[in-house]
Structure 1
Amino acid sequence: MQPRIPRQSAGEQGDRRPDGADVGTGLGAHLTPVVSGARRRAVRDGDRQIDTAHLLHSLLEYDPDARAVLGEGPRLARLLGYLVQRSIGYGLRWQSTVEDSGAVPEVTGAAGFSPLAATAMANARARAARRGAAEACGIDLLAALVADPGARAVEVLGRAAVDPREVLARVENHFEPTP
């Protein structure tokens, strides 16, 4: 059976590919498919950079722990619905713009990522280091994605009636040791 969507080589993607998106992320093998998926979404959407909404969508696709923190059922379905709509209407106003709320210091040297996405990835690594983990996991990245109220990921969560503060509280509960 042939895949419904043919794969494109880097050469076929032309200038649409967010260059360097998978280089130097430092997130480790666990999150490699998340970054790759976000890069594919950015290319497909015609965006120059991977933003926090691309990362959130890909994270929910590839990481069962992140989905569990957000909760199953209608809320997750509504959130995924908004993320899917990005390329067919919702989110088109973001196309050809750079995601930068100005609320957090910009991380430089992360070609292919919006300033907020690069900052979120750096913050995910820092969260993992504070926990004593060698690599960031999906939960670290989820917490980092919702930390800036100006992030596109936070906007999508808000439209799906998911409170970012509740997400952060659930993340903290996820890492607390059980008695």
Structure 2
Amino acid sequence: MITPPPFISLLSIYTLFFKIGAFSFGGGLTGWVYREVVVARHWMEEEDFLSGLALSQIVPGANIANLCIFVGNRLRGTMGAAAALIGLLSAPFFIVIGLLSIYETIAAIGWIRAALDGTAAAAVGLLVLMAWRSGRKTGGRWSSIAVMAATFIAVGVMRWPLVWVVLVLAPISVALAWPRKDENAGG
């Protein structure tokens, strides 16, 4: 049986998720939320948290945002969910705004502009290399080459939205590859 959580203030919920959002980079947020909510503060039972974790991974959206909404909702309802989500997102929001301000200030400096242009060129080079290697892996199959070319033309040249292009071309690609026996497929 799930015991109701103790009364937690909205400020406490906001502060916890603000700290998690401000000091986290990359993965591991789920573990941090678990440690803070279940182990350190005893705001939730482990079973309830794990149910929320499973739910947050199957509903659309970012898993950590979904988990924060779940935890906040369990603790204080809709206002708790809002406090948790706003807390998680407010620090990164202001950090990005601050970085944008810094970027606009230093972007006019010649060597910084050159460094950013070089970084962009390297990123494009890596993308071309990945496309080249992916193309070689197709083994020259006309169907794979046709789907890759259609994707490039639709997104890169015609500027169609990637989501719609993938929704149309993915089933076509699967259908074209379906009858093929691949030696790596185990069949």
| TM-score bin, normalised by smaller chain | under 0.3
The structure with higher relative contact order (CA 8 Å, sep 6+) is 1
- TM-score scaled by structure 2? 0.22
Larger Rg: 2
More helix by share: 2
